[in-house]
């Protein structure tokens, strides 16, 4: 019996040491999380997904660029009078990250009436004949950008 008790104590000590090592490891990996970088990567993938859905369904998809959220609506063409929201295509940006959109060539901020739309061929149309530049900002003052090209591509300048 004494031998069995010693084995149990050894097992508990080993588990306690393992728990401490794992806790220290997890706390050290936490700083690797970067909400700003996550927002840029997620938005890039989201825009590519919206473009792919526009081509797959041969519909036009308009992208609403809100300060903390991206959403998509579809219609037969980009010039249609009414669009229907696609509830499956929504992206909420990580906490603490804001999106500001402006036109790349003129530098003008998006007005509430401005829009961007992927055609059924994957090309980008906008309320202006320029490429949109998406700026992601965090609370630390850092900025990362995405540029949506007129051909439909999404790049990080």
Q: 51: exposed, middle or buried (C-beta count within 10 Å: 0-12, 13-18, 19+)? A: buried
Residue with tokens 């041969």: 58
What's the pLDDT tens digit per position in 132-154? 999 999 999 999 999 999 999 99
Q: Model's pTM, two decimal places? A: 0.78
DSSP the chain: -HHHHHHHHHHHHHHHHHHHHHHHHHHHHGGG--HHHHHHHHHHHHHHHHHHHHHHHT-EEEEEE-SSEEEEEEESSTT-S--EEEEEEEEEPPTT-EEEEEETTT-PBPPTT--EEE-TTS-EEESSSS-EEEEEE-TTS-EEEEEE-TTS-EE--
- Model pLDDT, residue 30: 66
Q: What percent of the chain has pLDDT over 70?
A: 95
Tally of CB atoms within 10 A around 43: 22
Q: 93: exposed, middle or buried (C-beta count within 10 Å: 0-12, 13-18, 19+)? A: buried
- Model pLDDT, residue 2: 55
Residue 55: pLDDT band by 50, 70, 90 thresholds?
A: very high
CA-based end-to-end distance of the chain: 70
pLDDT reading at 5 higher than 70? no
């Amino acid at each position: 019996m004494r031998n069995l008790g010693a084995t149990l104590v050894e097992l508990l000590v080993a588990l306690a040491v393992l728990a401490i090592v794992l806790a220290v490891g997890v706390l050290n990996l936490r700083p690797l999380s970067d909400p700003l970088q996550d927002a840029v990567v997620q938005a890039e993938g989201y825009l590519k997904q919206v473009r792919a859905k526009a081509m797959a369904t041969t519909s036009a998809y308009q992208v609403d660029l809100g300060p903390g959220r991206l959403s998509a609506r579809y219609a037969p063409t980009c010039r249609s009078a009414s669009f229907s929201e696609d509830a499956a295509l929504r992206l909420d940006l990580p906490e603490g990250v804001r999106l500001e959109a402006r036109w790349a060539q003129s530098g003008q901020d998006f007005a509430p009436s401005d829009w961007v739309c992927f055609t059924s061929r994957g090309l980008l149309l906008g309320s202006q004949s320029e490429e949109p530049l998406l700026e992601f900002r965090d609370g630390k003052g850092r900025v990362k950008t995405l540029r949506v090209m007129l051909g439909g591509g999404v790049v990080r300048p």
